[in-house]
Amino acid sequence: MTTTRDDPAVPAAAGAGGTPAATTGTAADLAVHLLRLGDDALVLGQRLCQWITRAPTVDEDLALSNIALDLIGHARVLLTRAGHIDGTGRSEDDLAFTRSEREFTNVLLTELPNGDFATTVARQLAYTHYAVPYYQALADCSDAELAAFGARAAKEVAFHRLHADRWTRTLAGGTRESARRMQQGLERVWPYTAELFDEDEVTRRLSTSGTAPSPALLRTTWQRNVSEVVTGAGLTMPAPSWSARGGRSGLHTEEFGPLIAELQSVHRQFPGGRW
């Protein structure tokens, strides 16, 4: 599907009445950006839900499902707003349940299969050390609604980061096998971390106008903080090798399809169903 966000002839037609017909300039950029952040949160939340009843302990089951719940809460706010300002009038449910794979713009990191527990911890470590400073920076941006969201979400993700940091240390300092798995988890997710900091015209325009933070600027902080945890735990930072990209433009990994199919299955069987 091609995007027509900049086409003034398209917007609003399908929408709930009263939604401002919109979407040129900053509003269009912001809509794209909100969708990206919302998709990151939604997809990672959905992935983490797959741990429910399968986590190593019951406490961990609760921890991972609580984290997933927070992320889906973030996605709801972001997607609702995205649908509101992109002029299509789509609801959070429309965006989550009726888009095809290629229309999702999450980074590939968030859709990576859970793997073993250590891989999930490694993915959480990478994501949370990016998300906390990103949301903190969002709290200082010009859009009041988004700033309020950023302030709130940063506090929540800080708990997820604490969880990831602790598990990284615990697994690294556990048995030889748990340390090996933790290192392997880091190696597995590493090639997917670069995409978090990628810039394109949208992010550049938004950061120039002070509407959203520039992701590239966070990379040094991220690298430093993650390496503090990783090396502090006695593990080694993975060597830079190849990196995978494409999520932001709708090109996903093979494992993404089944994840989205599962997410959307109820809606497809009972379109418009409510409970």
Partner 1 sequence: MNASTPPPARRSVQEVRERVEALPDPELPVIGLGDLGVVGSVGPAADGVLEVEIMPTYLGCPALPEITAAVRDVLAACGHPDGRVRQVLSPPWTTDRITPEGRRRLAAHGIAPPVSPVPDGPVPVELGGVPCPHCGSRATRPHSTFGPSRCQSVQWCTACREPFPHLTAL
Environment class of residue 261 by beta-carbon count within 10 Å: exposed (0-12), middle (13-18) or buried (19+)?
exposed
Q: For residue 99, which of 55, 8, 38, 183 has the smallest C-alpha distance?
A: 38
Among 71, 164, 189, 263, binds partner 1 (CB under 8 A): 71
Phi, psi (rounded to 5 degrees) for 213: -70, 155
Among 70, 86, 92, 143, binds partner 1 (CB under 8 A): 70
DSSP track, 77-108: HHHHHHHHHTSS---HHHHHHS--GGG----H
Residue for token pair 């900091």: 197
Tokens representing 112 are: 């990576």
Instruction: For residue 149, state whether it binds partner 1 (rule: CB under 8 A).
Output: yes
Cα Rg, the chain, nearest whole Å: 19
- Smallest distance, partner 1 to C-beta of residue 53, A: 16
Residue 167 DSSP one-character state: H
Between 70 and 86, name the residue whose CB sits nearer to partner 1. 70
Site string for partner 1, 45-64 (x = CB under 8 A): --------------x--xx-
Among 141, 147, 179, 194, binds partner 1 (CB under 8 A): 147
Between 163 and 248, name the residue whose CB sits nearer to partner 1. 163
CA distance to 26, 40, 155, 162, per residue, from 237 (Å): 38, 24, 26, 19
- Smallest distance, partner 1 to C-beta of residue 73, A: 2
Instruction: For residue 14, state whether it binds partner 1 (rule: CB under 8 A).
Output: no
Among 148, 237, 261, 266, binds partner 1 (CB under 8 A): 148
Length of the chain, please? 275
| Residue 207 identity (one-letter amino acid) | S
Instruction: For residue 221, state whether it binds partner 1 (rule: CB under 8 A).
Output: no
Tell me if 67 sits within 8 A of 241, measured CB to CB: no
- Smallest distance, partner 1 to C-beta of residue 38, A: 12
Between 84 and 252, name the residue whose CB sits nearer to partner 1. 84
Instruction: For residue 141, state whether it binds partner 1 (rule: CB under 8 A).
Output: no
Tell me if 73 sits within 8 A of 65, measured CB to CB: no
Between 67 and 118, name the residue whose CB sits nearer to partner 1. 67
Between 38 and 89, name the residue whose CB sits nearer to partner 1. 38
Instruction: For residue 44, state whether it binds partner 1 (rule: CB under 8 A).
Output: no
Residues in 156-175 at the binding interface with partner 1, rule: CB under 8 A: 156, 158-159, 162-163
Instruction: For residue 95, state whether it binds partner 1 (rule: CB under 8 A).
Output: no
Tokens representing 247 are: 């999520």
CA distance linking residue 259 with residue 261, whole number of Å:
5
Residues in touch with partner 1 (CB under 8 A): 59, 62-63, 66-67, 69-74, 76-77, 144-145, 147-149, 151-153, 155-156, 158-159, 162-163
